[in-house]
Chains A and B, each alone.
Chain A
């Protein structure tokens, strides 16, 4: 069983819809990352968080440490949000450098 599970694997939405992508993990962590991989292949970091909630523009990331769960929300989705969204965790103290990645959620936003 993968230590990081994402759901759904694929998601299609219409422009303007509110989107939620989920990430569950099974190990203790020091931080959780949300990444975006564009259709051209480039990867950018969206958020890095260890507690609570972060917001950047239309993107919101939350984490519940006790439940070992994080969500990425996109409000008012747009076709340019179409990408693969990847969750990754930095394990706890002593192994913080060994990131483990989920397999990604492929999002397609249509007009």
Chain B
């Protein structure tokens, strides 16, 4: 049982390049989400999914795409990277976000730098 696996750990991109951050969980969780963490700010929700085939926007979705073709995987795509997307990205999953018996499980984070 690996929990939430997030790759890569570090990435440097040039402005305009594209990339995909991978997130996978092996706990059969319905809910998966992506956050970015910037200095002095709380974690901010980018996109989330409540099940395969269902995604929705969070607080800061612009410049990011997601899909959820399987329960296990929830990749985050940057189509044309910008310096403003330099951040630390976290993926998290939960069986059910509103159930008090279902805590969040986080990946180890991806530190992305866009030059």
Which residue from chain B places its CB closest to the CB of A46 in the assembled complex? Answer: B103
Which residue from chain A places its CB closest to the CB of B49 in the assembled complex? Answer: A97
A90 touches B97 (CB 8 A): yes
Partner pick for A48 among B31, B58, B103, B109, CB 8 A cutoff:
B103
Interface string of B18-33 (1 = CB under 8 A from A): 0000000000000101
- Whole-angstrom distance between the Cβ of B16 and the nearest chain A Cβ: 27
Interface residues on B, range: 20 to 34
User: What number of A residues sit within 8 Å (CB to CB) of B?
Assistant: 27
- Taken together as a complex, chains A and B put the C-alpha atoms of A83 and B34 apart, in Å, by 22
Which residue from chain B places its CB closest to the CB of A51 in the assembled complex? Answer: B100
CB contact list, A88-111 vs B, under 8 A: 88, 90, 96-104
Which residue from chain B places its CB closest to the CB of A32 in the assembled complex? Answer: B100
When distances are taken between beta carbons in the complex, the residues of chain B under 8 Å from A48 are 100-104
A43 touches B103 (CB 8 A): no
Whether, in the assembled complex, A13 has its beta carbon less than 8 Å from a beta carbon of chain B, the answer is no
New A-B contacts (16) at CB < 8 Å, excluding given A42-B106, A48-B101, A96-B98: A31-B97, A31-B98, A41-B109, A43-B106, A45-B106, A90-B98, A97-B33, A98-B48, A98-B59, A99-B43, A99-B45, A99-B97, A100-B42, A101-B43, A103-B40, A104-B42
Interface residues of B (CB under 8 A from A): 31, 33, 35, 40-45, 48, 50, 56, 58-59, 88, 90, 92, 97-106, 108-109
Interface residues of A (CB under 8 A from B): 2, 4, 30-31, 33, 35, 41-45, 47-50, 86, 88, 90, 96-104
